[in-house]
A and B are shown apart, each in its own frame.
Chain A
Amino acid sequence: MIVNIFTLVMLFIAVLSFVLGGYLFYATLKILLHFKKDVPLEAKSKFEETGYLIFLLACVVLSVRMFAWPWFYFMLQSFVSEVPGAMCIFGVTRVLPDTVTFLQIIKPISFFIMGGWLLCYYVDKSIQTSPLARKNLLFLLPICGVLLADSIVDIYYVIRMKPLISVSCCATFFDTPLRPSAMIPQALFGINFQQTLFIVFYATNIILIILLFTSLSRKWQSLASLPRNVMLYSQAVLAVVNIPIVIISFFENIGPTLMQLPLHHCIYCFMGKGIVPDAPVILGLFAIGTFSIGWMVILHFICRNGETQLVTGKLLRKVNGLSVFCLLAFIMMVTIHLILI
């Protein structure tokens, strides 16, 4: 194990969220096993009390995991000086690569699903009879599983991380002609894919923003005359398609342009070296904007109930608005950066 302030804080956070997440899982399972629709009235109070404890624990665990997400990258950055040959975070990711890849994927997932759960909880608590209590508890179980997995793998990674091998510089991976981020668009758009990719990047994002605006504005909705469901599903599909487009665009076009290193395609250098200081903000806005669309889908599926219709509708609009704001801010920041270069 590499002993520095970053690893120890990470370990502390991971152990804390493991303990809290474990108790959360236990409490949720216990209440679910005893959950009956027609429960004696006094027992209902007990369920509700435990429900509040679960909510409190969930909020604390979410806060801790939210901090863990950026801290994970701070920790990786601190390993750069420890790993022989590493010039940026990429080099660090070559040590225990599967574990790091897993952690990089599971952290945004856990943030996403936890956020979805909190929204469903809000809807449930807005209704006098709490009609979604059981659904929310069922939803919480896999979330606890994800949180526990995240914490356990964090602990494993921190303990097992040892710079025993020498690694290559990111340029040997990201700057070769056969890099993965170039091969896919090249196969689709041909050799001069970068311009097409740039157009596709803007097209998908603008269309997505327009679709989101349409949901917000009644006037536009009536003009479009599409059912709400169709609108939501198309937003979700486009958001999913947009994710790889944005990622590949950042690797191929936008990242190198903003770094003013047109031949360097390392996303870690873009994020972490301070060349583009607001890079984390840009990508953070995209993440939240995309997550918001996912949260709308979660709300639509889980909070589908006659009683919750009104509250869910209002919340969907708010989340829709958040998505529009974030994606619009994301696109504007990228555009301003590109103009100013």
Chain B
Amino acid sequence: MIRTEKLCKFYSLHSRHEVRAIRDINLNIAKNTFAVFKGPSGSGKTTLLNVIGALDRPTEGKVFIYDEEITSFSDIGLSRLRREKIGFIFQNFHLIPRLSSWENVSYPLIPLGIGFKERFQKAKLLLEKVGLGDRLDHTPEELSGGQQQRVAIARALINNPEIIIADEPTSNIDEETSVHLLELLKELRNHGVTILVATHDTNFQKIADKIYKIRNGRIE
């Protein structure tokens, strides 16, 4: 389902501050796989996930999702891909501060032309699923770290994505939420969603279908 060929991402190429974040990455991740990427800080996990998730363009190489070469897509094509097929869960949650929980969750639905009531209903359902049914109108400042991450998870699921990409999702949350998140991802995997997680958390590594070790931008 997800395939990469000689994927490279360099920053400040040919300059004194050149950084080769990932080099010659060849991956083949089947559908419905729970893949974990582990490696020390600065090894290129986040960069790899950003490129696969169409958040960034590689310097060289190709990325295929469902045999479509997404590296040839225009900016609009990449946006559509993120909207329709990919859900992101970030390390720092990245919620919009002035919006309530349900507004944060339903934000991706606005450009789809979905009306207010429908957006609210969908967001409410997801927030109830992650255990925040009583926190619909709370803004991120009024939520704990764990609760914010659950809102972020609900947001990632709002468009029924086929791929979930989570970058260090448990590094800023408590143990209980971390376990809850893991259960949720397992459940999604069982429903056919492909999960890509960058994490040091051993609990994730225990249940992963595939573990990729990344060091100095290469997969070992």
The yes or no answer to A177 lying at the interface (CB within 8 A) is no
A129 lies within 8 A of B58 (CB)? no
Q: Between A and B, how many residue pairs show CB distances below 8 Å? A: 33
Q: Are B80 and A41 in contact, CB atoms less than 8 angstroms apart?
A: no
Among the listed A40, A42, A48, which residue makes an inter-chain contact with B74, where contact means beta carbons less than 8 Å apart? A48
**A129 B72 Cβ-Cβ under 8 A:** yes
B73 at the interface (CB under 8 A from A): yes
CB-nearest residue of chain B to A40 = B59
Cβ–Cβ < 8 Å partners of B57 in chain A: 41-42, 44-45
Cβ contact within 8 Å between B59 and A130: no
Q: Return the CB mask of B54-68 against A: 1 if under 8 Å, else 0.
A: 000111100000000
For the complex, is A225 an interface residue (Cβ under 8 Å from B)? no
Among residues of A, the one whose C-beta sits closest to the C-beta of B80 is A128
- Is the CB–CB distance between A41 and B74 below 8 Å? no
Query: Closest B-chain residue to A131, C-beta based?
Result: B74
Q: How far is the CA of A41 from the CA of B60 in the complex (A)?
A: 7
* Contact in complex: B58, A128 (CB < 8 Å): no
Q: Which residues of A contact B58 (CB under 8 A)?
A: 41-42
- Please, which residues of chain A bring their CB within 8 A of the CB of B74? 44, 48, 125, 127-130, 133
Taking a contact as CB atoms under 8 Å apart, the answer to whether B73 and A128 are in contact is: yes
B-contacting residues, A104-134, CB 8 Å:
125-130, 133
Select which of B71, B76, B80 is within 8 A of A130 by beta carbon. Answer: B76
- Which residue of chain A has the shortest Cβ distance to B13 in the bound complex? A42
B166-198, CB under 8 A of A: which get 1 and which 0?
000000000000000000000000000000000
Point out which of A42, A44, A125, A128 has the most chain B C-beta atoms below 10 A from its C-beta. A128
Q: Out of A41, A42, A129, which one reaches B77, CB within 8 Å?
A: A129
User: What chain B residues lie within 8 Å of A45 (beta carbons)?
Assistant: 57, 75
Whole-angstrom distance from the CB of B65 to the nearest CB of chain A? 12
Interface residues of B in 74-114 (CB under 8 A from A): 74-77, 80
For the complex, count residues of B whose C-beta is within 8 A of A: 12
Could you tell me the distance between the alpha carbons of A3 and B76 in the complex, rounded to whole angstroms?
Answer: 48
Contacts of A46-102 to chain B: CB distance below 8 A:
48
Q: Which residues of A contact B72 (CB under 8 A)?
A: 129
Give A41 to B57 CA distance when docked, in angstroms: 6
| Complex-state Cα separation, A129 to B77, whole angstroms | 7
Q: Which of B5-26 contact A (CB under 8 A)?
A: none
- B108-134 interface code vs A (CB 8 A; 1 in, 0 out): 000000000000000000000000000
B59–A48 contact, CB under 8 A? no
Task: Give the chain A neighbours of B73 by CB distance below 8 A.
Answer: 128-129
Q: How far is the CB of B10 from chain A (nearest CB, A)?
A: 9
Complex Cα–Cα for A40 and B72 (A): 10
A127 — which chain B residues lie within 8 A by C-beta? 74, 77
Q: Which residues of chain B come closer than 8 Å to A125, judged between CB atoms?
A: 74, 76
Least distance between A125 CB and chain B CB atoms (Å):
5
A128 partner residues in chain B, CB cutoff 8 A: 73-74, 76-77, 80
Give which listed residue, B60, B71, B75, B80, contacts A48 with CB less than 8 A: B75
Q: Is the CB of B76 within 8 A of A42?
A: no
Complex CA gap A44/B74 in Å reads 8
Q: Which B residues touch A41, using CB under 8 A?
A: 57-60, 71
Tell me the complex Cα distance, A41–B77, Å: 14
Q: Complex: how many Å from CA A45 to CA B77?
A: 12
A95 to chain B, nearest CB (A): 50
A28-39 CB contact bits vs B (8 Å, 1 = yes)? Answer: 000000000000
**A271 to B23 alpha-carbon distance, docked (Å):** 69
For B57, B60, B74, the residue with the greatest tally of chain A CB atoms inside 10 Å of its CB is: B74
Q: Chain B's nearest CB lies how many Å from the CB of A59?
A: 17
Q: Closest chain A residue to B71 by CB distance?
A: A41
Nearest-neighbour CB distance to chain B for A257, whole angstroms, equals: 47
Q: A-contacting residues of B (Cβ < 8 Å)?
A: 57-60, 71-77, 80
28 A-B residue pairs with Cβ-Cβ distance under 8 Å, sorted by A, are A40-B59, A41-B57, A41-B58, A41-B59, A41-B60, A41-B71, A42-B57, A42-B58, A42-B59, A44-B74, A45-B57, A48-B74, A48-B75, A125-B74, A126-B76, A127-B74, A127-B77, A128-B74, A128-B76, A128-B77, A129-B72, A129-B73, A129-B74, A129-B77, A130-B74, A130-B76, A130-B77, A133-B74
6 smallest A-B Cβ distances: which pairs?
A: A128-B77, A130-B74, A48-B75, A41-B57, A128-B73, A125-B76
Known: A48-B74, A128-B76. 14 other contacts (CB 8 A): A41-B60, A42-B57, A42-B58, A42-B59, A44-B57, A45-B75, A48-B75, A125-B74, A126-B76, A127-B77, A128-B73, A128-B77, A129-B74, A130-B76
